[in-house]
Each structure stands twice: as structure tokens, then as C-alpha cells.
């Protein structure tokens, strides 16, 4: 078999993408509806569900004391959390008068409250061919992270919508409540790494159909895009959403082990290149990869975008808990 590579960012050998174990048993979801129903299997099983439940409890303990459990919008309505006072005007409902304030200061004022509002979370997963690389593949960790964040969001009564970008874009409509995790897991389990995608165009297409004005857009990718990570994250910011970037690398990209004369093939374009891999070439490869990560982190820091980098070999529970410990996620 001819090795393949993603030379647009860093030369790394990528095996031909293997189909998901669930691909033959579960059809991928489309923009029209969820994946076909069926028992859990493949990447996600009953044991995985138990791990998600334990992870949710651990995440809550991790963030206890950092912020209040409920989310409140800046809209004023009929919630329970006091916001401020407003002077009484003729015609106002006297049931909202603050009689204690009137007794102390003789001032007629209405109590105003913050309105409870759930959060809308878009989970945007890069499923292009480059995500097949790694042992384990980068896409496996990306989908596990999406599943974990979906479960935590659903447990918080937020609305969660997963989307996968590959040769084609597939997505599920927003769901709410823990009972909706099974369709999301089936959807994610059917995702396979295929084709080439422009992250910015794919993100723009998904967010153009988004009706909610408030929420998070979490982009999980290796960011091996000719336009770079900035273009896709700028699209999220233009939609006035809180962006979160999760960059996944493979162990062999962090420390390549290639040697000798090789024919390298781009996993997404099919372009081939003859290359003699020497220690000097490997060092240059490592420098380019490090530079890419630093550029991503620098951009995110200047734009106040939470940014997390990880290896596909890192357990997804550890990655998620690290996100909560550092803050800026699902808050």
C-alpha cells in the first residue's frame, strides 16, 4: 500500500481511511433527520455510556464553586434570580413592587429578575480524510469528545446539535434532555473520515441554518486546512457565538517515525510526492507542526477563544476534565 500524507501543514504518513465498524449496520445521518435506529455498538456501547455518566459527575465536582450551576441570560423576565430595581410607572403590575424597599426608603420600585435560558451548543467535528491518521485515529478521539460534550450539555438541559464535515456534511437537529443521547451516539458512530473539506465553508454552511442567537460552537479538528484555523473560527465569531477550538494531533505527527525513501500521498487530494526522510526532514516537520499549534493558540488567546490541544492517544475523559479545570467551556 502506498503511504499517504497531509503536506499542507506537516508531512505525516496517513493510512487509507478504514470504514467505521458501525458503517455497515447504521446509515449516516443527513441534514433531513437522525441516523437509523439500532442498538449501540462500534465506538459507543453500554460501557461507554457508563463512562459518560461518571465523567459528567466528575465534571460537576471539578467546576463546583467556580460558578453557579444554572445558566442565566441577560434578558429580564420571570425568573427567580433578582437583577435590579426599576422605578414604578403608572400601569405597572403592583404585584412586583418591592414593599421592603418602600418601607425603608419610601420609594416605589419594581423588582426585576433574570430569566432562565438554556444554551445552544453546536458540536462541529472535522471528518475529512486527514482525521483517519493515527493509532488510534484522530477521528476516534474527536467523536468521543463530541459524545462526552453532548452528554454533559444534555444533562444541563442545553440544546445540542452535532455536525460532521467530510466529503459531505451531515448533522442532527438540536436535541434537549439526556434521553436524546442515543440518537446522537448513533449519528457519531456512523461518521467515517472521507474526502476533503474547507472548514470555513463547512462551518458557514452549518451556522447559516442556525436559528438561535446565543450559544457555543465547538470546533474539533486537526486544523489541517490550507486556509488555516483562523478562517473557520472567524466565521463562528461573525455569528456572535462563543467559539471553542479543540485541536487533535496523532502521536506520529508529534514524533514522526518515518525513515528512508518514500512515496507520500496526500490523503485528501491524492497528490503524490517522492521524499527521502532524514533526521533533518523530521526536525523540519516537527517545527512546522509546533508552529501551527502556536499560531492557533496565539490567535485564540488574542480573541479570547478557549483553545485545547491534545493527542489522539490521550483518554477522552482526561481531555474533557482538563477543559473544565481550565475554564471557558459550557459555562
Helices (H), the chain: 46-63, 99-105, 138-155, 181-189, 199-208, 228-238, 251-254, 279-302, 316-326
- 98, 183: one domain: no
- 212, 276: one domain: yes
Query: Residue 141's pLDDT is what?
Result: 96
- Which of 41-55, 92-106, 185-199 reaches the highest mean pLDDT? 185-199
Say if 300 falls within a structural domain: yes
User: How many whole angstroms from its chain centre is CA 63?
Assistant: 19
- 20, 102: one domain: no
Q: What does 64-86 look like in DSSP terms, one character per residue?
A: TTTS-SS-EEEEEES-SEEEEEE
Percent over 90 (pLDDT), the chain:
35
Stretch 164-189: mean pLDDT:
92
Q: How confident is the model at residue 63 (pLDDT cuts 50, 70, 90)?
A: low
Say if 269 falls within a structural domain: yes
Say if 263 falls within a structural domain: yes
Query: Residue 20's pLDDT is what?
Result: 38
Q: With contact defined as beta carbons under 8 Å apart, do 31 and 205 qualify?
A: no
- 41, 137: one domain: yes
User: What's the total number of domains in the chain?
Assistant: 2
Q: Which of 86, 116, 146 marks a domain boundary?
A: 116
Q: Which of 116, 146, 177 marks a domain boundary?
A: 116
Say if 331 falls within a structural domain: no
Q: How confident is the model at residue 1 (pLDDT cuts 50, 70, 90)?
A: very low
Domain of 81, in residue numbers: 72-116
Averaged pLDDT score across all residues of the chain: 78
- 243, 209: one domain: yes
Q: With contact defined as beta carbons under 8 Å apart, do 247 and 130 qualify?
A: no
- 168, 266: one domain: yes
- 104, 158: one domain: no
- 86, 189: one domain: no
51 phi/psi in degrees, rounded to 5: -65, -40
Cβ-in-10-Å burial (0-12, 13-18, 19+) of 257 comes to exposed
More confident residue, 70 or 243: 243
Helix (H) or strand (E) holding 163: strand 159-165
270 phi/psi in degrees, rounded to 5: 80, 0
Q: How confident is the model at residue 278 (pLDDT cuts 50, 70, 90)?
A: confident
pLDDT 10s digits, 137-167: 999 999 999 999 999 999 888 899 999 998 8
Q: Is the pLDDT of residue 39 over 60?
A: no
- 34, 110: one domain: no
More confident residue, 267 or 76: 267
- 288, 264: one domain: yes
Say if 194 falls within a structural domain: yes
Amino acid at each position: 500500500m502506498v503511504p499517504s500524507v497531509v503536506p499542507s501543514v506537516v508531512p505525516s504518513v496517513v493510512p487509507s481511511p478504514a470504514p467505521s465498524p458501525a458503517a455497515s449496520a447504521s446509515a449516516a445521518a443527513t441534514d433531513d433527520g437522525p441516523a437509523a435506529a439500532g442498538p449501540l455498538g462500534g465506538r459507543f456501547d453500554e460501557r461507554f455510556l457508563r463512562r459518560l455518566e461518571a465523567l459528567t459527575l466528575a465534571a460537576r465536582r471539578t467546576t463546583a464553586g467556580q460558578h453557579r450551576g444554572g445558566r442565566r441570560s441577560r434578558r429580564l423576565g420571570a425568573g427567580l434570580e433578582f437583577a435590579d430595581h426599576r422605578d414604578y410607572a403608572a400601569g405597572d403590575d403592583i404585584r412586583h413592587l418591592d414593599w421592603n424597599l418602600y418601607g425603608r426608603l419610601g420609594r416605589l420600585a419594581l423588582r426585576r429578575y433574570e430569566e432562565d435560558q438554556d444554551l445552544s451548543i453546536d458540536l462541529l467535528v472535522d471528518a475529512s480524510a486527514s482525521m483517519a491518521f493515527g493509532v488510534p485515529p484522530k477521528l476516534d478521539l474527536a467523536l468521543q469528545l463530541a459524545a462526552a460534550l453532548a452528554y454533559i450539555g444534555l444533562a444541563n438541559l442545553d440544546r445540542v446539535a452535532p455536525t460532521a464535515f467530510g466529503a459531505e456534511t451531515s448533522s442532527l437537529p438540536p436535541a434537549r434532555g439526556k434521553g436524546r443521547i442515543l440518537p446522537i451516539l448513533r449519528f457519531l458512530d456512523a461518521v467515517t473520515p472521507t474526502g476533503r473539506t474547507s472548514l470555513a465553508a463547512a462551518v458557514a454552511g452549518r451556522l447559516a441554518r442556525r436559528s438561535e442567537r446565543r450559544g457555543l460552537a465547538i470546533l474539533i479538528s486537526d486544523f489541517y486546512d490550507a486556509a488555516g484555523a483562523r478562517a473557520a473560527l472567524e466565521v463562528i465569531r461573525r455569528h456572535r457565538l462563543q467559539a471553542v477550538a479543540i485541536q487533535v494531533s496523532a502521536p506520529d505527527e508529534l514524533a514522526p517515525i518515518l525513515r528512508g525513501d518514500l512515496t507520500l500521498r496526500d490523503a485528501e487530494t491524492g497528490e503524490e510526492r517522492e521524499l527521502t526522510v532524514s533526521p533533518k526532514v523530521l526536525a523540519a516537520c516537527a517545527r512546522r507542526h509546533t508552529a501551527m499549534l502556536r499560531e492557533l493558540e496565539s490567535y485564540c488567546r488574542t480573541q479570547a477563544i478557549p483553545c485545547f490541544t491534545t493527542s489522539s492517544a490521550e483518554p477522552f475523559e482526561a481531555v474533557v476534565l482538563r477543559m473544565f479545570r481550565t475554564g471557558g467551556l459550557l459555562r
